[in-house]
């Protein structure tokens, strides 16, 4: 789970900025921030190019003690035998969480894994999201994601996790959740999570944040060797 107080502060600053900068549509938010692509991805299940089960082996689930973003980074670090954990990340950032928003997670990934190139993809189509995840896994890299998840109190949150496998013909996507377990999603349920359509009774500041572009749907992080 991320720090909601930081969301509200950043959202307030964004609101003030929007009022002074101006807008491009009657609602008051730039239209490009409110356009998300919801295309039909069903053809991937029958596409021979994606018929192979792909999985990255050897990644352990880390149960978050500080934040989901830090836990995902620790999972990747342990996988590559690097001495990085949530506490060391907290110490490096003077006791604060640097991964409360996606840009912070990207910066932390770049800093902790200089041997990798990390690209953040936001608001991509459903089909592209699935194709990119498949391609990354086939190349040997797991895929950090942003999505909607329920925490241990059964409350919805904006969350980071790690995809380590997909089986499109059998309608399965495998996710390492920092709440402490490995999950199996159907393709439909996975897309609903990455698009936050499964999030019931979303808080006003999250809804406003999505409308303004502070938060994004269908967001993944693609890793590759430099």
Fold held by 4-225: Cathepsin B; Chain A (3.90.70)
Q: Which two tokens stand for residue 7?
A: 């969301």
Q: Name 45's bridge partners.
A: none
pTM across the whole model = 0.84
Mean pLDDT of the chain: 86
pLDDT digits (tens, 9 = 90+) for 94-147: 999 999 989 999 999 999 999 999 999 999 999 999 999 999 999 999 999 999
Per-domain boundaries in the chain: 4-225
Q: What pLDDT does residue 3 have?
A: 54
pLDDT digits (tens, 9 = 90+) for 174-215: 999 999 999 999 999 999 999 999 999 899 888 888 887 778
Specify whether the backbone of 213 is left (phi greater than 0), alpha (psi in -120 to 50) or beta: left
Rounded-to-integer distance, Cα 190 and Cα 90, Å: 30
């Amino acid at each position: 789970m991320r720090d909601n107080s930081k969301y509200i502060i950043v959202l307030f600053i964004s609101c003030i900025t929007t009022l002074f900068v101006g807008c491009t549509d009657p609602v008051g938010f730039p239209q490009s921030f409110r356009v998300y692509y919801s295309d039909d991805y069903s053809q991937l299940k029958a596409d021979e190019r994606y018929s192979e089960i792909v999985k990255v082996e050897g990644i352990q689930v880390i149960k978050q003690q500080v934040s989901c973003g830090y836990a995902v980074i620790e999972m990747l670090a342990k996988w590559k035998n690097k001495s990085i954990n949530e506490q060391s990340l907290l110490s490096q950032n003077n006791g604060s969480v640097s991964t409360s928003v996606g840009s912070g997670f990207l910066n932390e990934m770049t800093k902790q894994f200089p041997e990798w190139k990390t690209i953040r993809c936001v608001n991509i189509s459903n089909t592209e999201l699935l194709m990119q995840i498949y391609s990354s896994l086939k190349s040997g890299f797991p895929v950090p994601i942003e999505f909607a998840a329920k925490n241990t109190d059964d409350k919805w949150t904006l969350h980071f996790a790690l995809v380590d496998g997909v089986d499109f013909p059998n309608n399965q996507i495998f996710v390492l959740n920092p709440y402490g377990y490995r999950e199996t999603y159907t393709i439909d349920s996975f897309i609903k999570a990455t698009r936050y359509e499964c999030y019931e009774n979303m808080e006003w500041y999250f809804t406003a944040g999505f409308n303004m572009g502070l938060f994004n749907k269908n967001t993944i992080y693609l890793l590759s060797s430099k």
